[in-house]
Structure 1
Amino acid sequence: MSDVSNCYYIFPINKLRELVIPWVFNELISSALVITALQLDSRNVTVGNLFIAIKGHKTDGRLYIKHAIKNGAVAVLLESTNNDNFLAQNIVNNVSSCVPIINFYKLNQAVSSIAGRFYGHPSRNLNLIGVTGTNGKTTISHLLANWVELLGEKSAVMGTIGYGMIGSMCVSNCTTFSAIDTQRILNQFIQSGIKFVAMEVSSHGLDQYRVDALYFDVAIFSNLTSDHLDYHGDINKYIMAKWRLFSELCVTNYVINVDDYIGYEWLSYLPNSVAVTIQDNLPKFWKGEWIKLVKANYFVYGTDVFFHSSWGNGIIRSQLLGECNVSNLLLALGALLVLGYPLMVLLSIADQLKPICGRLEKFKSFNKPTIIVDYAHTPDALEKILRFLGAQLCKKGKLWCVFGCGGNRDKLKRSRMGIVAERYSDYVVITDDNPRTENSQSIIDDIILKIKHSEKITIIKNRVQAIETAICQADSNDFILIAGKGHESYQIVGNDYLKYSDQDIVRNILENFIT
């Protein structure tokens, strides 16, 4: 396996002049000025901090320089580009302070490097795996960390569910953290003896340069389907954001799902790759390492995955459900194999890998339907799960789907998700899913826009009532997919985060039936 024990130590840099010297040389910056922390949010600034003022996607941090200085910032880095130097200079002129304010060209692209220098580039001293794709990031990253943990090594994850060691994670409200938080958390991991980190890498994080100064031992590509077009604008920009991880960042090895047409295309540009397929889709030109599914046996309690590979043949006996998790398991396996972990050792403990919270998570009570809670919030993810449940598990009963779509997000996918739910489910209950500031009924109207068989559809805006209705009306042989929220512990209504959990609702309903 990859050994990080001999990695050289890079000393953190906390003096401002030395910290920024690769980009800015200014003799007026005191060589003795020490920085205690880096901050992007003026509200978090305390005495001794460096405030990094950049124009964000929603908020322009440059407008809060006065507030940062008032809170104790000892210096400010001010983002400037060719188009807004005048604005930047006006901001500086309006701040009366002896605190140095340093103009920094394209600062947003350098924050990851600055934070890396400040924290001693922690990613160079651990095995860092980056996982990107529309679906599967959370599952793959948790599988990786769990697998390594079962081998007795301290490991951690960073992503949608949170960050830290599995079982003691801190909650997160984003998939990819800010450039500063990413370097800070990786540094904390090293201080606590963690040497293996699996990180979800989102298209937003890549587009905003948040992971640019990281050193990845492996980058994994799971798949790519339409999503986040409210942010990227079109599918091509979304694809190019993902491609940055494989074309512009520092990565040693790649693991690519070649069943996805994007992955198949990218493979020819990435010679240091492991090609993974569950559809016998290995390119004829491929001479590198590979993993190929032979067959998968699906059960209500898990999956047996038979495969051939460059490292030998084997069987993964897993507690995880679903065809998508066959791909996820093989992608995770490929990453560990390329790092040098022994195949047979990995297979011997695979049956101990834990199902991931809110990812095809199963609930079953005597004489009640089988309930699956999943984060599926794209047409592709919803279709794959419904098709799997209908074809492999729900053979004696009816298939229900309870779902909604998020407000103030990609509207184009709503009607497509409605079509998918109608096509692959016997009954559909449409409900709320983080409506935010958008009118709940308008979201539902978008979902049902192209539905043809309205007799299948029930609309219940209250999500608790929607779930309760499905469970009460379903037979014991039926399966109910509750999709969209997965691990989330809140419902966003307006600008408020209200305490809510699909899992808790399901447990409470099933317990009430028992009592």
Structure 2
Amino acid sequence: MARWFVDRLPQQGIPSVSLRRLLPEAQFVGCHDWEVSGCTADSRRLDPGQLFVAVRGVRHDGHAFVEQALERGAAGVVVERPCPEAGRLQVIVPDSRAALAKLCQALAGDPSKHLSILGVTGTCGRTLTSLFIRSIFEATGVRFGLIGSLGWSDGVATRSVSDTFPGAEGLASMLAAMVERGCAGGVVEIPALALDQRKVDGLEFDTAVVTDLSALVDTDADSLTTRRRRKARLFRKVVSGGTAIVNADDPQAALLGAVNLDARFVTFGVDRPADVTAKIDRLDERGSRFFLRGFAREVVVESPLIGPAQISQAMAAAAVAWSHGLPVEAVVAGLETATKVPGELEAVVEGQGFGVWIDQARNGAELEQALGALRAIGAQRIHCVFGAEGLHERSERLGLAKAAEAGADRVTLTTDNPRTEDVDQIIDDLLAGFHRPGRVRVELDRRSAIEATLADAQPGDAVLIAGKGVRTFQILADRALHFDDKAVATEWLRSRHQLPRRTSA
């Protein structure tokens, strides 16, 4: 056994942490404390001498791999229940996910103690809000990192990421890289699942933002309670004297105010009074113009983003700036220079007389927001084509159907990523969410569905192709196919709506 990884005393030159100090609620078997210098939750990647943390996943339970980890040279294990095969080399904790996250952050040098960490969560708008926040801070001249669905940046270079939130080890490494690059802080976009999986445990947040809590298409008590519990988990991680920011336009958000009484409670909004608000002056297909209020003086902001929801997300970022005492000039510069999010209401323009937008909306709340943006800019009729992911909850499909029926004039259902699930079952689940399913067109071939929807559109209409955004694949039971919504729409439009060519004099 490599004694320098797990020992009672830290070894010179090798960073280590005390498990007893880090996990005071743990039950130690075999010794009073361990000093740990390395850990992993993947037995296949374990290096001899590291600590193995057994995590229960959706498909696999890490406790089943304890023996394999020990054979690979694990110096000990962290488990949620006693494992006889681990012998006298185990630490028993209530939640091994939380323990893993705390261990990774500590072994990375606790980067959140050296950065101003701003967490952003919510049903919709996390990505855009995070981009706005970073843009505002960088407009003040400081270096700021970002971890989000579009990639992560250490303040200097930007790298791509997978669709999922990084694991505990990856998250700690990203934040440590921000410290090494001299960042003043970092914005972390946090989906609900990451909060459930305790991936941000061990982080200290200077500021936490909840973009929204409820949605018109999904307001049953159970789902609201679940969302509130998730968001409350983030607010509890805000340090004393930090800031908890909520949407005043969301009637459910105020309930989060009492979650952390040591944090400052700040609100933003468009329709209701708040610390930071906006008065909308213009909303059309070119973008928006609004008056920003709450700072020392009222200022005008012009943005290429469309829809009232995008303005609300700009207000969330402005509220962060307001709580940090940033100058209003930096707020305007940050909001106006933030680029559009690829795959979120991304316009396809090929000379046609109607609007076409690509959006990655994959749940009812996101689809509701996208359709609402098109309605707000004055589209005559809204056409929507979308499908639903295979192996997802039926409730998600009902939410998509309700949003489509409420926000669109014409709906076409098609396939998305059916995976191993029967396509007909997915469509049946979607149809069950419509009050008038007989008015819904079903076309299983996604290309044909998009082309038929475009063919129906008239001048002044708007077409929303939802579900994929920038994702350029379609996952079937036995293979993954290349499929690009934007490319399909562009090809069809170019073949029928060519711009007139200029001729020389």
Same fold (TM over 0.5): yes
What is the Cα deviation at residue 248 of structure 1? 4.8
- Report 1:173-322 matches (<5 A): 173-174=163-164, 176-225=165-214, 234-250=223-239, 252-267=242-257, 272-282=264-274, 290-322=275-307
Match of 1:471 in 2: 454
In 2, distance between residues paired with 1:143 and 1:29?
A: 48
What is the Cα deviation at residue 201 of structure 1? 1.8
Match of 2:62 in 1: 61
Q: 1:40 to 1:460 in 2, by over 3 A?
A: same
CA contact 2:295–2:322 (8 Å) conserved in 1: no
In 2, distance between residues paired with 1:308 and 1:226?
A: 26
Match of 1:3 in 2: none
Q: 1:195 to 1:468 in 2, by over 3 A?
A: farther
What is the Cα deviation at residue 130 of structure 1? 0.3
- Report 1:77-476 matches (<5 A): 77-80=77-80, 84-85=81-82, 88-89=83-84, 91-92=85-86, 101-106=89-94, 107-164=96-153, 168-174=158-164, 176-225=165-214, 234-250=223-239, 252-267=242-257, 272-282=264-274, 290-395=275-380, 398-454=381-437, 456-476=439-459
Q: 1:502 to 1:233 in 2, by over 3 A?
A: farther
* SS in structure 2 at match of 1:59: coil
The alignment yields a C-alpha RMSD, in angstroms, of: 3.2
Q: 1:171 to 1:449 in 2, by over 3 A?
A: same
The one-letter code sitting in structure 1 at the alignment partner of 2:440 is I
The one-letter code sitting in structure 1 at the alignment partner of 2:284 is F
Q: Deviation string for 1:418-453 (max 9, x for gaps)? A: 233234322211112222322111111111125354
CA contact 1:370–1:478 (8 Å) conserved in 2: yes
- Gaps of at least 5 residues in structure 1 are 1-11, 94-99, 283-289
Q: 1:17 to 1:379 in 2, by over 3 A?
A: closer
In 1, distance between residues paired with 2:246 and 2:14?
A: 38
Q: Deviation string for 1:344-379 (max 9, x for gaps)? A: 232145322201111222221112532112222332
Q: Deviation string for 1:475-504 (max 9, x for gaps)? A: 343211112223334333337554443334
CA contact 1:14–1:118 (8 Å) conserved in 2: no
The one-letter code sitting in structure 2 at the alignment partner of 1:426 is D
* SS in structure 1 at match of 2:214: coil
Q: Deviation string for 1:41-92 (max 9, x for gaps)? A: 222224454321222343211212344345x444232312xxx43xx22x42
Structure 1 length-normalised TM: 0.83
In 1, distance between residues paired with 2:388 and 2:215?
A: 14
Match of 1:5 in 2: none
CA contact 1:258–1:264 (8 Å) conserved in 2: yes
Q: 1:69 to 1:497 in 2, by over 3 A?
A: farther
The one-letter code sitting in structure 2 at the alignment partner of 1:186 is L
* SS in structure 2 at match of 1:110: helix
The one-letter code sitting in structure 2 at the alignment partner of 1:279 is D
The one-letter code sitting in structure 1 at the alignment partner of 2:247 is N
In 2, distance between residues paired with 1:352 and 1:242?
A: 29
- Gaps of at least 5 residues in structure 2 are 1-11, 500-505
Q: 1:192 to 1:509 in 2, by over 3 A?
A: farther
Percent identity, please: 24
Q: Does 1:76 align with 2:76?
A: yes
What is the Cα deviation at residue 472 of structure 1? 3.3
The one-letter code sitting in structure 1 at the alignment partner of 2:264 is N
CA contact 1:13–1:117 (8 Å) conserved in 2: no
Structure 2 length-normalised TM: 0.84
In 2, distance between residues paired with 1:178 and 1:461?
A: 35
CA contact 1:79–1:108 (8 Å) conserved in 2: no
Runs of 4+ aligned residues of structure 1 deviating over 6 Å after TM superposition are 24-27
* SS in structure 2 at match of 1:171: coil
Match of 2:474 in 1: 491
